[in-house]
Amino acid sequence: METEHGEAAADAGTEGPPGPLVDAAWLASRLTRRGTVVLDASVGAHRAAGRRVPGARRFDIDGVMSDHAVPLPHTMPQADAFAEEMRALGVDGTDTVVVYDTAGIYSSARAWWMLRAMGFDRAAVLDGGLPAWEAAGLPVEALPPGGGGRAGNFTARPRPGALVGSDEVVEALADPGAAVLDARSRGRFAGTEAEPRPGLRGGHMPGAVNLPFAEVQRDGRMLPVDELRAVFEASVEGRERLVVSCGSGVTACVLALGAELAGYGGVAVYDGSWSEWGLPSELPVVTGA
Q: How many CB atoms lie within 10 A of CB 159?
A: 13
Could you give the domains of the chain?
4-135 (3.40.250.10), 163-277 (3.40.250.10)
Asked if residues 154 and 93 have their Cβ atoms less than 8 Å apart, the reply is yes
- HSE, side-chain direction, 13 A CA sphere, residue 263: 11
Residue 246 appears among annotated catalytic residues: yes
Catalytic residue, chosen from 97, 246, 262, 269, is 246
Supply the pLDDT for residue 289: 86
CA dist 86 and 69 (Å) reads: 19
Asked if residues 89 and 62 have their Cβ atoms less than 8 Å apart, the reply is no
Supply the pLDDT for residue 94: 97
Supply the pLDDT for residue 47: 82
221 CB contacts (<8 Å, ≥6 apart)?
104, 105, 127, 128, 132
Supply the pLDDT for residue 11: 42
Q: Read off the pTM.
A: 0.93
CA dist 141 and 153 (Å) reads: 27
Supply the pLDDT for residue 49: 76
Supply the pLDDT for residue 148: 63
Q: What averages of pLDDT result for each successive group of 10 residues across the chain (289 residues)? A: 34 73 98 96 86 95 96 97 97 98 97 98 98 97 75 97 98 98 98 96 98 97 98 96 98 98 96 98 96
CA dist 105 and 110 (Å) reads: 10
Supply the pLDDT for residue 258: 98
Burial label for 5, CB within 10 Å (0-12, 13-18, 19+), is: middle
